[in-house]
């Protein structure tokens, strides 16, 4: 039975993409929009054909706007045919997710993405019911039960692990012993990573393991169905970037969690990178750790955007052979300036990223 469940996402991936994304050794055929655009911009892509030779040129790295087709029989060049943005995006989507892929106003889908979405929604309804029950318990007990809100985090882990198991979206954890050894020390840390996909959140939870932690997240996420309830019920640290008072409250809340023995997680870039490359860090990203004297554990998330790019509604293939989380040695925050800490953590994250995810500067 377990083997059958594990094989299901692989089978759907094969059907979705005609086998192009089902095997780790073929992962190089999976290109995100940014990687594909860059390679097209840097040089031509030649494909074997019976009667024609296509030379593809891109006017900009982000917008495929024209395709010129040259006949090999007479070497004459036909006028370039203009593609609309919608047509170019559809070609890109089909090259990523296979011939059964299609676009919607909410994002691209293929059979595997639909399977992932339906599985996520079904599990999400169970998750929502469990969270609602816990909300009643907390209200009845006057908020004296489970003060560190471990149970909502545990329920979120169950949802995430089950979803990853049923869809084959587990990342590989590299240097996982660093986190295991750190947990044995009974110290608490701030985990920080790059951010370019929604998959980053369950990947971080999977790397940390069954331990209590809180995310430092933007307040807008509280309005997301189900996820918003989990964020509020778990008492994650939410910040309103436009409100100075909210930022001060966030700082105090984060410091309190660290002092109470609860780990923190944050994305120092502040939002998802649309180019798949590491962006500059926001100022004050590590103040909580500095003031609480907690170390920072950098994480490099590799390949998440190649499984779920920003223009896809859900992942279009399993994560096996493509995604991994690289764990780096803890960086002590005591006795360092904010600039020194920022530079050291950033350098470690970059070390674990492939060339196409590293910043250009």
Full DSSP string of 170-238: PPEEETTHHHHHHHHTT---EEEE---STTHHHHHHHHH-SS-EEEEEEGGGGGSTTHHHHHHHTT-EE
For the stretch 215-224, pLDDT in tens is: 998 888 888 8
Structure tokens at 233: 């019920």
Q: What tens digit of pLDDT does each residue of 158-197 get?
A: 999 999 999 999 999 999 999 999 999 989 999 999 999 9
- Nearest C-alpha neighbor of 115 from the set 4, 12, 2: 12
pLDDT given at position 116: 97
Spatial contact of 75 and 68, defined as CB atoms under 8 Å apart: no
pLDDT band at 16 (very low <50, low <70, confident <90, very high): low
Q: What is the DSSP string of 108-140?
A: EE-HHHHHHHHHHHHHHHHHHHHHHHHHHHHHH
User: What CA–CA distance (Å, rounded) separates 173 from 162?
Assistant: 17
pLDDT digits (tens, 9 = 90+) for 76-95: 444 445 788 888 999 999 99
Residue 184 buriedness (CB in 10 A; 0-12 / 13-18 / 19+)? exposed
pLDDT digits (tens, 9 = 90+) for 95-136: 999 999 999 999 999 999 999 999 999 999 999 999 999 999
CA distance 240 to 219: 5
Q: pTM for this one? A: 0.77
Size of the chain in residues: 361
- The yes-or-no verdict on residue 232 having pLDDT over 80 is yes
334: left (phi over 0), alpha (psi -120 to 50) or beta: beta
pLDDT of residue 45: 35
Closest CA to 323 of 300, 303, 352, 299: 303
Q: How far apart are CA 266 and CA 217, in angstroms?
A: 7
- Beta strand 172-174 with 263-266 is unpaired
More confident residue, 283 or 51: 283
- Cα 270 to Cα 194: distance, rounded to the nearest angstrom: 9
Position 48 confidence tier, pLDDT thresholds 50, 70, 90: very low
Residue 179's pLDDT is 96
CB 185: neighbour CB atoms within 10 A?
10
- Give DSSP secondary structure letters for 231-269: HHHTT-EEE-TT-HHHHHHHHHHHHHHHHTT-EEEE-TT
Model pLDDT, residue 228: 85
Domain limits of the chain? 111-357
* Least reliable range by pLDDT among 1-10, 88-97, 99-108, 291-300: 1-10
CATH match for 111-357 among 2.40.160.20, 1.10.10.10, 3.40.1130.10, 3.10.20.30: 3.40.1130.10
Q: What is the pLDDT of residues 139-158, one digit of tens each?
A: 998 878 898 999 999 999 99
Which one-letter DSSP state was computed for residue 28?
Answer: G
């Amino acid at each position: 039975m377990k083997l059958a469940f594990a094989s299901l996402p692989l089978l759907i991936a094969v059907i979705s993409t005609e086998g192009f994304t089902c095997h780790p050794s073929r992962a190089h055929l999976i290109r995100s929009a940014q990687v594909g655009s860059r390679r097209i911009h840097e040089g031509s892509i030649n494909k074997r054909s019976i009667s024609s030779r296509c030379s593809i040129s891109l006017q900009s790295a982000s917008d495929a706007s024209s395709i010129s087709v040259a006949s090999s029989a007479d070497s004459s060049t036909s006028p370039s045919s203009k593609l609309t943005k919608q047509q170019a995006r559809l070609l890109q989507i089909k090259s990523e997710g296979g011939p059964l892929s299609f676009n919607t106003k909410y994002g691209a889908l293929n059979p595997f993405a639909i399977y992932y979405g339906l599985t996520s929604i079904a599990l999400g309804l169970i998750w929502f019911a469990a969270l609602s029950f816990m909300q009643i318990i907390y209200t009845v007990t006057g908020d004296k039960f489970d003060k560190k809100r471990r149970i909502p985090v545990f329920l979120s882990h169950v949802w995430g692990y089950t979803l990853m198991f049923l869809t084959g979206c587990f990342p590989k954890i590299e240097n996982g012993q660093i986190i295991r050894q750190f947990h044995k020390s009974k110290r608490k840390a701030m985990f920080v990573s790059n951010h370019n996909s929604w998959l980053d959140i369950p990947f971080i939870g999977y790397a940390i393991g069954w331990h209590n932690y809180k995310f430092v997240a933007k307040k807008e996420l509280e309005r997301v169905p189900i996820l918003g309830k989990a964020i509020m019920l778990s008492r994650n640290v939410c910040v309103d970037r436009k409100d100075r008072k909210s930022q001060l409250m966030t700082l105090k809340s984060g410091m309190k969690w660290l002092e109470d023995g609860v780990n923190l997680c944050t994305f120092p870039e502040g939002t998802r990178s649309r180019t798949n490359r590491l962006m500059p860090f926001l100022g004050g990203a590590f103040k909580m750790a500095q003031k609480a004297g907690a170390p920072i554990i950098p994480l490099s998330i590799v390949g998440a955007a190649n499984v779920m790019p920003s223009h896809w509604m859900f992942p279009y293939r399993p994560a096996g052979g493509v995604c991994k989380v690289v764990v780096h040695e803890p960086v002590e925050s005591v006795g360092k300036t904010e600039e020194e800490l920022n530079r050291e953590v950033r350098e470690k994250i970059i070390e674990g990223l492939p060339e196409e995810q590293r910043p250009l500067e």
